[in-house]
Amino acid sequence: MSYATDLPTTSEFGQVPGTPQGSPAEAVHWTRKPWFVNALAVAILLVVWQYLHSVNGRVPSIDEVVSFLGVELGGGSHGGVSRGEFWGPLSISLQRYAIGLAIGIPVGGLLGLLIGGSRRFRSVLNDTVLVLLVLPSVVWAFAASLWFGIGSTAPVVAVVLTAVPFMAVNLSSGIRGLDPGLALMSDAFRVPRLRRATHLLVGGALSNAVTGVRLAFMTSWNSLLIVEWFGTASGVGWRAKHWYDAQRFEGFVAWILLFVVFITLLDWLVLRRLEHRSTRWQQQPTLTFAEGEIA
Amino acid sequence: MATILIENLTKVYPPTPTYPQQVQALGGVSMSVTGNVFVAVLGPSGSGKTTLLNIVAGVEEPTAGAVRVVQDGVPAQVGYVFQEPRLLPWRSVLDNMLYVQNRKSDRSKREAEFYLSMVGLSDVAHLYPAQLSAGMQQRVGIARAFLVNPDVLLMDEPFSHMDALTGRSLRDYLQRIWAHTRKTALFVTHDVGEAVELADRILMLRPGGVVFDDIPVNLPRPRRPDDAAVHAVETEVLRRFDSMEAAVRFGDQRN
Ligand SMILES: Nc1ncnc2c1ncn2[C@@H]1O[C@H](COP(=O)(O)OP(=O)(O)OP(=O)(O)O)[C@@H](O)[C@H]1O
Ligand SMILES: [Mg+2]
């Protein structure tokens, strides 16, 4: 560089204020750690459950449910000819879930890009997507099984139809929320199109996209179960309904529990972490950088 | 050598649902700037300063008139310091610099780091904009404008959002950097002292976007805001603003 050496150097400015110097966040008391709070919540839930069992015999007890699960897992006998089934229903549901999301998330993402990026598409598609968003998944359950009958098409379609609007709405609002000043800045510096797409558009809408993905995962798991309950003869939802119809409430509760545990774990271990990562830039240095914030 | 040629530039914003009257932001501005000069455009809020810079930068279309910004006959590379920092919030300071860098090479990162050190921000290159103070963000904006090795430097009140002390030291910086690079500079401000301290020439805008005066500032550099000579020019600039206002008011009364 051709600049002469009499330019002031960084050190003349001294230490830049606000630079983190590796000072660790203040230690959080263990009673406030997320794992403790979560464990406490689970414990309270179990106590309430056992209490409900003691006042109402139709509510199965914890150990009834656990031993039922053991039979389902081990493939033992539930009495008579009925045998335990676990991996079969679970893997069928997970396949439908995966296929539905693999279609619904990209399609919803594309719709979100179009709605967010183009006024014309917005006027045509926005209301359609909103209708999709407000329709409860039980409607998809009935409609899809009406159209496609018993089989895997109906639940997959329901997952797709639930995932699409969540993706589309979140992504499009992310794109519409982009500061027009940043586009003007990119114009002024003649930033190439491709770099602008990856850094400005994707960078800016990424956190909204991830939120969309998270909501799509959670809500379409719900839809899947409902469709399987009402319109199929296989999968997790069907298995729960099977035991419900058989008046084996410990079986019904066991499967509902599995259903909840699955989505909760998925959210804690994957989705929430993704969301946290993608929104890291929004946070102030001293507030919530601690990794302990997420489970 | 860079040239900015502006001929009879007019910008009228059409009425909008929220403001149902058209707004004349620029009312026939003409000027010509050539070579290593630092020109200040001085005007009150709403006199069309930002609009002028946006049109010169090519990011806004004029209603009428023409603008040419050339370097040795070809379109000039423009560096723009905006009124707000305008950084990508989801990219680190260094990545924000690299975002506008057009030649990608091993050197580009070192260049970006060099310009960051020039504004005293070497230590925060890896932080996100939200982790910087407003003044620090604006300094990133200044470093970014220099990084593209501009033929023409456009600056839109870069110091108006910071405290007087920071503004003072940054003006000092800018004077020194400019003394070495001597880029053709168009510097917009509403601050008379700032204009006199930095510029070779002051164009004075009045509301409606009309240039009503053009004052040369022939003072040796570096200048200090408390120099008596700087102060004398300031007084003169203010006197001309007052007489312009009086003339406008007088004109109104006659209508
Ligand atoms: N996009 C726009 N649409 C409509 N009117 C606009 C737009 N941009 C600016 N104006 C109007 O044009 C006039 C000049 O605005 P401009 O931003 O150029 O002023 P300025 O001199 O930069 O003011 P300031 O010192 O407050 O930044 C103002 O009256 C403003 O309301
Ligand atoms: Mg302005």
pLDDT in tens, A198-225: 899 888 888 899 999 999 999 999 989 9
Res A103: pLDDT: 97
Ligand 1 centroid, distance to A187 Cα (angstroms): 19
**Element (DSSP H or E) covering residue A65:** helix A62-74
Every domain of chain B with CATH number 3.40.50.300 lies at 2-77+151-254
Does the structure show a pLDDT above 90 at A131?
no
Test B124 with A182 for CB contact under 8 angstroms.
no
- Across the interface, of B118, B120, B130, the residue whose CB is closest to A284 is B130
Tokens of A161: 């139809």
Distance CA A216, CA A213 (A): 5
Tell the residue number behind the tokens 């379109």, with chain if given.
Answer: B75
According to DSSP, the β-strands at B74-75 and B201-206 are unpaired
Pocket probe for ligand 1: among B9, B21, B23, the residue whose CB has the most ligand atoms within 8 Å is B23
pTM exceeds 0.80 for this model: no
Res A143: pLDDT: 83
What is residue B123's DSSP assignment? G
Ligand nearest to the CA of B20: 1
Q: How far is B6 from chain A (nearest CA, A)?
A: 18
Ligand nearest to the CA of B59: 1
A269-295: average pLDDT: 63
Q: Among A40-54, A90-104, B151-165, which range has the highest average pLDDT?
A: A90-104
Residue-wise DSSP of B155-193: EESTTTTS-HHHHHHHHHHHHHHHHHH--EEEEEES-HH
Chain A residue set in contact with B, beta carbons under 8 Å? 1-4, 6-10, 12-13, 15-20, 179, 181-182, 184-192, 195, 199-200, 203-204, 206-207, 280-285
Res B255: pLDDT: 41
Distance CA A165, CA A131 (A): 9
Ligand 2 centroid, distance to B60 Cα (angstroms): 14
Distance CA A257, CA A252 (A): 9
Residue of B nearest to A205 (CA): B90
B212-239: average pLDDT: 92
Cα distance from N-terminal residue to C-terminal residue, chain A: 49
Tell the residue number behind the tokens 């500061």, with chain if given.
Answer: A179
Residue A187 backbone phi and psi in degrees, to 5: -60, -50
**CB–CB of B81/B141 below 8 Å?**
yes
Does the structure show a pLDDT above 90 at A246?
no
Ligand 2 centroid, distance to B11 Cα (angstroms): 14
pLDDT band for B206, please (50, 70, 90 cuts): very high
Res A31: pLDDT: 80
Residue B12: CB within 6 Å of ligand 1? no
Ligand 1 centroid, distance to B82 Cα (angstroms): 14
Query: Is residue A139 classed as helix, strand or coil in its secondary structure?
Result: helix
**CB–CB of B207/B26 below 8 Å?**
no
Looking from the CA of residue B14, the nearest atom of ligand 1 is 4
Q: How far is B19 from chain A (nearest CA, A)?
A: 20
What percent of chain A has a predicted confidence (pLDDT) above 90?
A: 31
**CB–CB of B203/B210 below 8 Å?**
no
Residue of B nearest to A189 (CA): B100
Residue nearest to atom 5 of ligand 1 (CA): B13
**CB–CB of A186/B82 below 8 Å?**
no
What are A188-204's pLDDT values in tens digits? 999 999 999 889 988 88
Distance CA A240, CA A238 (A): 5
According to DSSP, the β-strands at B38-42 and B201-206 are parallel
Which residue type sits at A171? L
Res A203: pLDDT: 87
The yes or no reply on domain A87-281 and CATH 1.10.3720.10 is yes
Distance CA B224, CA B226 (A): 5
A166-181: average pLDDT: 92
**Element (DSSP H or E) covering residue A91:** helix A87-117
Pocket probe for ligand 1: among B19, B45, B51, the residue whose CB has the most ligand atoms within 8 Å is B51
Distance CA B37, CA A70 (A): 84
B97-121: average pLDDT: 86
Tell the residue number behind the tokens 């723009």, with chain if given.
Answer: B80
Res B251: pLDDT: 64
Question: Can you tell me the ipTM of this complex?
Answer: 0.90
Nearest Cα residue to A292 out of A271, A278, A276: A276
At the topology level of CATH, where does B2-77+151-254 sit?
Rossmann fold (3.40.50)
